[in-house]
Each structure stands twice: as structure tokens, then as C-alpha cells.
Amino acid sequence: MSLAYPCRMKTPRFTPLVADLPATVPFVGPDAQMRANGRPFRARIGANESGFGPSPKAVEAMRRAAPESWMYGDSECYDLRAALAEHHGVTPAHIIIGEGIDGLLGMLVRMLVAPGDPVVTSDGAYPTFSYHVAGYGGVLHKVPYRDDHEDPGALLARADETGAKLLYFCNPDNPMGTWHSARVVERMIKAVPHGTLMVLDEAYIDASPSGTAPEIDPDNPHVIRMRTFSKLYGLAGLRVGYGIGSPDLIAMFDRIRNHFGMGRVAQAGALAALQDQAWLQSVQGDVARARARIAQIAADCGLYALPSAASFVALDTGRDGDFARRLVDALMARDIFVRMPFVAPQDRCIRVSAAPDGPLDAFETALPKALADCAHATKAPQKT
């Protein structure tokens, strides 16, 4: 008896949309890069994780929750939603919790973007949002950065021109670390075109100066703001993000979300982290000091640090994207993991995460040597 399957048609039968997508991912993760290199990083300062770690109270809460891992997590994330609602002065009906901001972005795009629908973002902004839009067949309309900042006026104009379903705006910005004041964002929200939902990504808001977070009516149907425990709370490995929006919008997530997507340990850790605001304030000080040190390391090597309101610093190499890529590779060869923006002219920069002294010591040692390698390669005569 033959075990061969009859070849009646090609299987599996992928949708035309998925079959035509490029075989790419937004980022190659640091663990994958370490496996490729065959050795660990001396400084893991490219993914904007918090090397300062989570609150000890969060660690203890997760330790206590670990024996209960045989049970699914609360499908309603009741305790965490209630605590977040109290923290932000809203009701639990205004809060959605998901697998990081990335997971929430994917659900939001699925809810609102059908094949061919227009979506507006900045050219070079956080690529995972664009990845989700492409995955659901949306059409991306991009505007350039202006002076290394996202351009609110241009974004609004393009959203109005295209009838965009979504307008994505990150403040403070990733990958540049630049920011707009709360007043600018508040004016932007008031000007969102009818029928457009503004996605305000505030992943880095905890690292920003006072006056950056806007006042937003939680019942405003034109905006959803997104926050995370992955950055200054130090819980990137748990993947806990949340959105704040009007109850009608938040309720729609229940129609498509993975109701048991948030594990018990993750919920316990995030709740304890939220309740330890003293730890968050301590990390905010650590991040500010690390940004200042990164800027000084850069200045000592002839690079310029862009002012940053995030948990990283973009360093202007004063050259072009090709040079910056060589610099990233030269640092990687010394086991220093950093990243860079993808789109010119922002790709002249490299991006370095705030970190404790140990990783920054390694970066300080490696940077001048890596720059020397790049300069030598630039001056080397071309073979004919």
C-alpha cells in the first residue's frame, strides 16, 4: 500500500495575501543573533530592554505565582485591569490588556483594516506596526520625519487626504528618541479626521520629561493610547501591554482577542510592578544617568547624541546609512549589540539602549575601535 498522498492540488492553500508577503520579520532578535555568532553579547544594548531589571516586589510576586502555573491565567485580567484603571483614573471598561503593545497593535489592525484600506504612519517609524498592516492587506501611506521628529501636521494631512482608518504616532519616538510636548499631541488629537483612529504609542512615556503625556478624555473615540511593562518596568520577557480607549472600542477587542493569552505569572508580575512606583522612579533616574553617559561616550568619539526622552539614545555618526551599518557590524564583531534606524536620513544614526555601567563600560571600550575599523574600511583603496 502506497503512503504517497494524491497530488490533487497544492497544500496547504495559503491565502493570496499571505503567499505574496515578503519573507521578513521586523527585527532579528538578540537571542537569534547570539546563536548566529556562537557567543553571548558583552553588551545587550540594542533592543531597549531594561538592564536595570524589574522591581524585586514583582520578582517575588512571580515566584509566589509560579506554583500556580498549572492554571490558566484570569481571562479577564481582572486585578490588573482594576489596578491600571485606578492608576490612570479611568474605569476597567477603558482598559485592554494584551501580549505587549505589539500584540495589541496586531489585534487593532485586524479589527479595523481590511485589504486595501489606507493607513498612515511615518517612514521609518516602529516597523512592527507596518508589519501588521501589511499582514492584513492594508495600504501604508508614509510621511517623512521632519528634523528627526515625527511630523504631526504632515501625518494629519495625509490621513485626511487618504481617508485613513488608522494614524500611527509614537511619542516619544522610536527609533529617534525625540518627542513632542503634550500640547502638540493634544492639538493633534483634536484635529484627527472623521473616521480615523489615532494610535498613540507611548511605550517610552515613563522615560520622558514632565509635560510629555497629554491629557486625553478616556471616552474620546478618536484615539487609543498604548502603554507597556516592557521598558522601564523591566518586564519585556513577560509581554504585557495595555491600551486605554473608549469603552465601545475596548469592548470590540473581546470579539477577537486570545482570552487566555495572559498567563498567571505575567499578570502577577505586572500587577506588583505597577504597585511599586518607587522602583519605577529609581529606574527613571538610572535611565537619565545612562543617557547622559551614552551622550558623553559618543562625544568623546566625535559623535552627536540626539536629545532623547526614551530609554535609548540615537547617536548621529555624521555619515550616511552605509557607514552606520558598518559601525553596527563592527560593534557586533566585538559582541556589542546595538541597532539603527532603517530609513534615510535617520539611518545615519545608531541606537543605544540605556543600561547599567557594565554594558556601557564595554560599549565605551568598543566604540572607538569600531569607529577606527569603519574609517579604515572607508579609506581602503578599491580593487579594480
Q: What count of other Cβ atoms lies within 10 Å of the Cβ of residue 79?
A: 13
pLDDT at 379: 66
Q: What are phi and psi of 359, to 5 degrees?
A: -60, -35
How far apart are alpha carbons 172 and 301 in whole angstroms?
26
Residue 23 DSSP code: S
CA angle 228, 31, 178 (to 5 degrees): 40
CB-based contacts of 308, cutoff 8 Å, min separation 6: 172, 177, 178, 291, 314
Q: Are 309 and 288 in contact (CB under 8 A)?
A: no
Please state the rounded mean pLDDT for residues 309-317: 98
Listed in order, the ranges of the chain carrying CATH 3.40.640.10 are 56-275
**Average model confidence (pLDDT) for the chain?**
95
Kindly report, as residue ranges, where domains of CATH 3.90.1150.10 are found in the chain: 28-51+278-377
Segment 78-89, tens digit of pLDDT: 999 999 999 999
pLDDT for 383 beyond 50:
no
Distance CA 122, CA 110 (A): 20
Task: Please identify which residue in the block is written with the cell numbers 518607587.
Answer: 278
Q: What is the pLDDT of residues 170-202, one digit of tens each?
A: 999 999 999 999 999 999 999 999 999 999 999
Give me the sign of the Cα torsion angle 296, 300, 305, 310. Answer: negative
Distances (CA, A) of 282 to 48, 49, 50, 191: 17, 16, 12, 37
Split at pLDDT 50, 70, 90, the class of 384 is very low
Judged on CB neighbours under 10 Å (0-12, 13-18, 19+), 24 is exposed
What are the tens digits of pLDDT across the range 50-101? Answer: 999 999 999 999 999 999 999 999 999 999 999 999 999 999 999 999 999 9
CATH number of 28-51+278-377: 3.90.1150.10
CATH number of 56-275: 3.40.640.10
Three cell numbers at 102? Answer: 505589539
Helix residue ranges per DSSP H, the chain: 16-19, 30-37, 56-65, 78-88, 100-112, 127-135, 152-162, 182-190, 247-253, 264-275, 277-300, 321-333, 357-379
- Among residues of the chain, what percentage have pLDDT more than 70? 96
Residues near 55 by beta carbon (within 8 Å), at least 6 away in sequence: 233, 234, 272, 273, 276, 279, 280
pLDDT of residue 157: 98
Q: Are 118 and 139 in contact (CB under 8 A)?
A: yes
Give pLDDT tens digits for 11-55. 798 999 999 888 877 778 888 888 988 899 999 999 999 999 999
Determine the Cα–Cα distance for residues 21 and 281; give it in Å rounded to an integer: 43
pTM: 0.94
The rounded Cα 377 to chain-centroid distance in angstroms is 33
pLDDT, one tens digit per residue, over 269-299 is 999 999 999 999 999 999 999 999 999 999 9
Residue 134 pLDDT level (bands cut at 50, 70, 90): very high
**pLDDT band at 10; cut points 50, 70, 90:** confident
